[in-house]
Chain A
Amino acid sequence: MKKIFRNIFMLSVFIAFTSCNDAIDIFQPAIIEESDVFTNVDDLQRGLRGVYIQMDHTQDMFFNANYTDEVTRGLTNGGQGLDGFNFVMASNLQEARVFWAKNYTVNMRAQRVLEKLNEITPEASEQAAYNSIKGQLMAISAYSHFMLFAYYTPDYTNDAGLSVPLVNFVPSVELRPLRNTVGEVAGYINSTLIEAEGLIAQQSNPVFISKDFCRALRARLAAYRQDYATAGTLAQGLMTSYPLANPTQYTSMFRDDVNNTEVIFKLARTVGDRYDRQAAPAVPGVTPSGNGNVVAGGRAGNAFAFTNQGIAGGPFLEVNRSLFNLLNENPDDVRRIINVHPTSVINPAWTDDPSQVGLDNIIINKYPGKEGQPLLQDLKILRGSEMHLIAAEALIHDNQLGQAAVLIQQLRNARLTVGTAPLPVYGSQQEAYFDLLNERRREFCFEGHRYLDLKRLGQRANQGISRASSECAAFGWAVCSAEATDYRFTLPIPLDEINGNPAISAQQNPGY
């Protein structure tokens, strides 16, 4: 008996020790080890898509509208965006963090696939596809840096000034960079786009990065940098390839997302994708608790409404009356129709008077939804009309005001469903810039441009944030106007960056 038990015990001990690896060498499904992740060009293609699906633009749409004069408090507002009206900006706010975190994440992802790509030698037959993937990844890195450059650089034209850290490599987790100069960052963006253009196969593609994307982004960068020779040339060229949409095409562009006459690049969105939600996490380290804030990714229209288009769809942000007045200057402008929902309550007796509180409910209608899904819409990043307006801007800069007026008139005519617009007459560059900025406000409202437009053009146009005073009064405390020279038109280095990278705090932007 004793022996039997002793043997059983020894056996058990043996089993226990031999089975120990079974307890600690655990297989987990659905994980690809880094060493095996990319072995051929098809894999790289999938990896490239994995970077595309990380790109989002709803944060820019929300912020550029909320922080400026595009929106006002909506009918169904539970505090959404109210602080944005206050024009409060500080390094601890999500508004300061979101663009920094989002763009560096996309850049890191692009860089990691690029690194893997460089380890693979393609077959001769795959070389073109391989190059095209490489070019797109490089262009995504350039685009991410451009957006960082746009939000965090105080002065785009001062080459020696501070911009953002340049991460043109796979960042190690220990990376704690300092800011690079404007010249270095702009140089990287520009040269990378030129190299990418040479690698990418397709001239044009509305939903993937094409040669034209590279040129268009270079045009935008050059305009930011006030290098109008480059900007003008690039924009003129693209104007030809992307003629202005007629009202029918324009309507399709913002309704069923089918017509791409004017689309140089947009982020495609469809039913069931990761953004087909009220709020979808898009920024590392933050899980949005709902929509109506700057970190919430999700459907395009969810940046302004809870559930649906129209007045019953829970609009928490509405069209600012000052923007509506601009859109309404010609009621036959397709942009009046596209941007303002028919269920809007518009007070015909409106005057810019604080006593007009709450009598208007002008509902944003740029993103009503498609494919049967309310509020779902592709996110437009670069359009032909932007090239058109950059070309006009370049002409104004060169003081060719008459030619600029012709371009502005062309755009207005293209937008009219009935009749024609008069040729504007500009008495000065400032007047022309002012009109250009208004046209950009009409053309790109809710597309994520206004804040950056005011920052770089506001001073030249003598235009700042100009909200309807009726709506400032609605909140009592909201800022009605702000000069374009205000320090808050450059975002602060976010506190979370300083937490992880203390040395950069010495390089904080002015005013913060």
Chain B
Amino acid sequence: MMAFSIQFSFAQEKTITGTVSEEMGPLPGATVVVKGTNKATTTDFDGQYSISAKQGDVLEISFVGMKAKSITVGAANTYNVVLESDMLEEVVIRGYSTVSSTKSTLAAQTVSAKTIENRPNTNAIQTLQGQVAGLSIAASTGQPGAPPVVRLRGTSSINGQNEPLYLIDGMPTTSGVFTNINPNDIESVTVLKDAAATSIYGNRGANGVIIVKTRRGSFEKGLEINYSGWTSFSQLQTTNDYNLMNSQETLRLEREYGNGLGTGLSDEEIDAYGTFNWLNYFFRTSVSQNHNLRLSSGGKNTNQSTTFGYTDTQGVLQNTNLKRFNFRNNSTMKSDNDRFTLNTSLSLNFTKENDPGSIGTGGVNQNYILGAFQAVPYLTPDDYIDGASLLTNLSFTDTPLMLMDKLRTFDRIFEEFRGLSTIDARYKILNNLTVGSTTSIDYLHRTTTVYQAPDAFNSLLFAPGGAANQTPGFQQFQTDRQFMINQVMSLNWEKEFGKHTLGLGAYTEYFKAHRRAFGVTANGQNPATWYPGDGGGFVGDVQANDWFVDVATAQYRNAGLFSYFGQADYDYDERFGASATVRRDASFRFAETNRWGTFWSVSGRWNITKEEFMNGSVFDMLKLRASYGTQGNQNIQNTNYWGGSRLFQNTWGTGGGYQGGASILLTGIGNDALRWEKLSTTNVGIDFGVWNSRLRGAVDVYQKLTTDAFFDGPTSLTTGISALPQNIASIENRGIELQLAYDLIAPKQQGDFGMSVNFVGSYNKNTIKDLGVNRDEVIGIGRVGGPLFEYYVIPYAGVNPENGNLLFLDIDGNLTEDPDPDADRRWSGKNILPDYEGSFGFNLDYKGFYLQTQFNYVIGSHRYDFDLAGYHDRGSIGEFRLSRDVLDSWSPTNTGGSMPSLFATNATTFDDVSDRYLFKRDFLRLRFASFGYAFNSKQLQGTGISNLRLYVNAENMLTFTNWRGFDPEQLSNTSRLYPTPKTVSVGLEIGF
């Protein structure tokens, strides 16, 4: 009768104790959970824990930055556990960090999913901003999904390609693909910087390689379901500092100057006008949504990860948006004996974008930004009637009304299907010999639909035949199919001989890109039956005129590359290592004699911490790396895969007709000496971790020398051409990069206050070494010894108090009103490319709450502010809005005015050859801040939920700068651009 007390003791709870430690000692704050129950505890200061459990229960021990461990409770009552450090986990928590595996000789930096996912950026590349030392990313537009300008370690080519190569799961591609893919699919991004790292990635990797890995499943893991979603709200960033006039000031100035509406108005009439800010009409607070669902699972021999993504991003500018649906499946299979593995990735992406174009232009009837920035404040949207009414007195003053009409009557829509697939198969023929094949296919099908309604102001204005044409307007349809295939075959051999390890690899790479495109512009739309995308309103050609002739276009293009290469790796006892590569590359872009280029690299490392004399030092990791290598660039004109394909020969083609007969036309003057642009890179770097990795980081110093650089070298115009693509320039980039992360306050226990700070910075100095024979300066490009794109200017010296004219300094430093745009210009030492850039930030953790920040900075960059020039231009009086600066113009009664006289005789003549509108665009920006709460496993016990996180993210919230314009980040001297917005998002992440 007493039977059930003792015999069943194994089922009874008992107290389990033990110590959790890591390599360096006891681990306080580690979590111990009894699996499947709500019982949990944390280790104390000495790493000890105590918890009650039954025999057969599973204890799960975890700690941030460590690999979790499970132990099954047996007969014993004490279980000591040693946790191993998990670099990936550390990356997750710290925000980002370098992964410098012992054997790597590369200068590389990895950014993990944690800093990419759930950011309200439609384009994943934009999220990388400031996260990688030496990787400069500048958003050029607020258009949702648009790729930013990306440069790694400076600008190394003048006319050739400067963009890094992107590899998505082994597929080489370009930045354009990120408009289509889902940032939340990305598991990690690794940026390869030096020649040792990039040379293996082929003939397109001279400007660095960005390796993107998408999420895969794991073997032996049950079904996991994760959902994340957010809603975001975007607005123009803190608006400009231009101090724009109100209606009264505008109208009075018009009256004073004698142009525009104000001319005939009395004071009372002027005072009756309200001030309308057209910024608030064309820009809006936009609301966007994003949803992601991921299912992953794995068995013994297969695993898979499937993701669905949906995003609806509305731009802050009206009529700009992007909607995207993403599907991805990544699967892995292997044979029982692990000899054969097969990785497949398949991603199907549907994107619909509305991008009105004409941004940055001076088209008063086309560029919405022009209306937003420059429209006069005394007009309001109520002044708009319809397109036809704007015709009667065509006037620039009506700019905002014309653009309102365009919003109503025009759209440019891109619908894209993009399928990306990679099949990667590997087979171990022998224990140390593996054969592999990676085939990737990128298929893009883009349909463009552009329409302009028959009653649109622009249709009526440009109607062939004018008012007699009752059915103006057009629709344009374009279909563009692009098929890219890349195939890498590899054979790898590796063997250990005692303390020596030797690896050898042989590869071939084959690339082909095909483009087939066609399109039609249907001119003439019947207002009664037309509909965007439908042909019901098309008007056919008639005998009487050629107003409705439709225009057909088509394109057939192919491109290709081929390479073979080899690699050797050597390691001695994990202390020393060396690698070497050599490759032969051929491009379709060169004449047969110059087609092939040979490039090579060598690199070495010394893992100093592996040396005995380092025992007991504060360093737990210290590695010295060095590399030198050469690489080729064949994209002569920085175009797409197909551009610049026949620059090596003179070409003739069919030209337009003259007097009814067809013509044959010289279409290009070629240079048969064109050959590979050559880049040689020297890199020395140190990776380190100190004080149990509380402080960790890397320093790299590099020199990149581009020789035979593609440059459209100016020719004498008497040759009939202005420039010829040649390999004549030489450019050097030298720089230093630093990444640092420091755990200022390491949490003693989980939930305790923790704080880490981090810094990423780079300095790059760009120098032109050569511009070809007989030439040491080219305006617009720079001079030998100076940086690329150096401004060549006449210094502006203020206002002449005598007469209100502008004063400049001539070449001898004397004041002049009439400088010589040739002789008085000089090199300024300034250019648009930053000298220093990077980011810093801190991460705070406390009891599940976290706060992350990232401040980006750019130093040493100058830009023309032509928006400001527009606000100062007296030519705009009566037509556009001006800055209050103009109110302090010189006049006979205001001889101390800070601005030139409105009647200065040399007013706008020297705007683009003087430095009057050249300003520093240096800025410090709170690029990113995230505040959130992560529920811990204790709180979630019994809910069936494995993780739950709520957060608020903010992008571009604050900018500190002296730049007066809308967005100092834009790397362009063009005015009237679409500024990038600031965004706040609210999101949640939940996993089962």
Contact = CB atoms under 8 A, between A and B. Distances in A.
A binds B: yes
Interface in A475-512: 476-477, 492, 494-497, 499-502, 504, 512
Contact of A78 (B427, B655, B716, B879): B879
B487 interface: yes
B900 to A, nearest CB: 10
Contact of B905 (A9, A52, A101, A477): A477
A492 B823 CA distance: 13
Nearest to A267: B658
Given A16-B508, A175-B718, A268-B659, A372 B465 contact: yes
Contacts of B775: 499, 502
Q: Report the contact-size class of chain A (Cβ under 8 Å from the partner).
A: 35 or more
Given A46-B664, A112-B666, A308-B466, A5 B427 contact: yes
Contacts of A124: none
A90 B466 contact: no
Interface stretch (B552-560, B739-747, B979-987): B552-560
Of the listed residues B649, B716, B908, the one surrounded by the most CB atoms of chain A closer than 10 A to its CB is B716
Contacts of A176: 716, 774
A43 interface: yes
Interface string A40-54: 000101110110111
A434 B903 CA distance: 32
A171 B719 contact: yes
Contact of A28 (B511, B557, B586, B821): B557
A76 B774 contact: no
A178 to B, nearest CB: 10
Contacts of B662: 46, 49
B490 to A, nearest CB: 10
B701 interface: no
Contacts of B464: 271, 372-374
A461 interface: no
A390 to B, nearest CB: 28
Interface string B428-472: 011000010100000000000000000000000110111010000
A335 B149 CA distance: 55
Interface stretch (B219-227, B359-367, B528-536, B603-611): B359-367
Of the listed residues A24, A30, A77, A496, the one surrounded by the most CB atoms of chain B closer than 10 A to its CB is A24
Contacts of B462: 307
A20 B435 CA distance: 20
Contacts of A165: 718
Contacts of A504: 716
Contact of A173 (B395, B435, B724, B905): B724
A46 to B, nearest CB: 4
Interface stretch (B231-239, B386-394, B860-868): B386-394
A32 interface: yes
Given A32-B653, A33-B649, A105-B720, A499 B779 contact: yes
B521 to A, nearest CB: 12
B227 to A, nearest CB: 42
Interface stretch (B134-142, B541-549, B919-927): B541-549
A289 B723 CA distance: 20
Interface string A219-245: 000000000000000000000000000
A91 B361 contact: no
Contacts of B650: 34
Interface in A1-45: 2, 5-6, 9, 12-13, 16-17, 19-20, 22-34, 37-38, 43, 45
Interface residues of B, number: 101
A93 interface: yes
Nearest to A92: B821
Interface string B646-661: 1001111111111101
B755 to A, nearest CB: 52
Interface stretch (A80-88, A248-256, A394-402): A80-88
A79 interface: yes
B779 A12 contact: no
Given A28-B557, A175-B716, A477 B907 contact: yes
Contacts of A2: 429-430
A107 to B, nearest CB: 7
B587 interface: yes
B717 A9 contact: no
Interface in A89-112: 90-93, 97, 100-101, 104-105, 107-109, 112
Contacts of B716: 171, 175-177, 497, 500-501, 504
Nearest to A176: B716
Nearest to A49: B663
A23 B511 contact: yes
B508 A104 contact: no
Interface in B337-364: 361-364
B333 interface: no
Contact of A109 (B546, B547, B720): B720
B913 interface: yes
Given A20-B586, A49-B657, A312 B720 contact: no
A337 interface: no
Contacts of A78: 362, 364, 396, 875, 879
A371 interface: yes
B32 interface: no
A314 interface: yes
Interface in B370-404: 391-396
Contacts of A289: 361-362
Contact of B904 (A13, A37, A54, A477): A477
A141 to B, nearest CB: 11
B909 A88 contact: yes
A357 interface: yes
B598 to A, nearest CB: 15
A424 interface: no
Given A32-B651, A373-B464, A499 B719 contact: no
B274 interface: no
A82 B873 CA distance: 12
Contact of A31 (B394, B653, B905): B653
B718 A497 contact: yes
A86 B909 contact: yes
Contact of B667 (A13, A26, A31, A52): A31
Given A24-B560, A29-B556, A50-B663, A79 B510 contact: no
B265 interface: no
B695 interface: no
A50 B665 contact: yes
Contact of B258 (A26, A93, A371, A474): A474
A313 B430 CA distance: 80
B396 A107 contact: no
Contacts of A34: 649-652
B653 to A, nearest CB: 6
A112 B391 CA distance: 47
Contacts of B395: 75-76
30 contacts: A9-B491, A12-B437, A13-B491, A13-B508, A17-B508, A31-B646, A33-B652, A38-B664, A75-B395, A76-B396, A78-B875, A79-B875, A83-B909, A90-B821, A104-B719, A105-B721, A108-B721, A112-B666, A165-B718, A171-B718, A171-B719, A173-B669, A175-B716, A273-B656, A285-B721, A308-B461, A312-B391, A372-B465, A373-B546, A500-B714
Closest 10 CB pairs of A and B: A108-B720, A285-B722, A23-B560, A476-B903, A49-B663, A501-B716, A50-B665, A500-B714, A50-B663, A372-B545
Interface of B: 258-259, 263, 361-364, 391-396, 427, 429-430, 435, 437, 461-462, 464-466, 468, 487, 489, 491, 508, 510-512, 544-547, 549, 556-562, 564, 586-588, 595, 645-646, 649-659, 661-667, 669, 671, 713-724, 774-775, 778-779, 820-822, 873, 875, 879, 902-909, 913
Given A32-B651, A171-B720, A358-B259, 16 more contacts: A9-B491, A22-B560, A28-B645, A31-B651, A31-B652, A91-B822, A105-B717, A172-B719, A268-B658, A268-B659, A271-B546, A274-B656, A372-B544, A474-B258, A499-B775, A500-B716
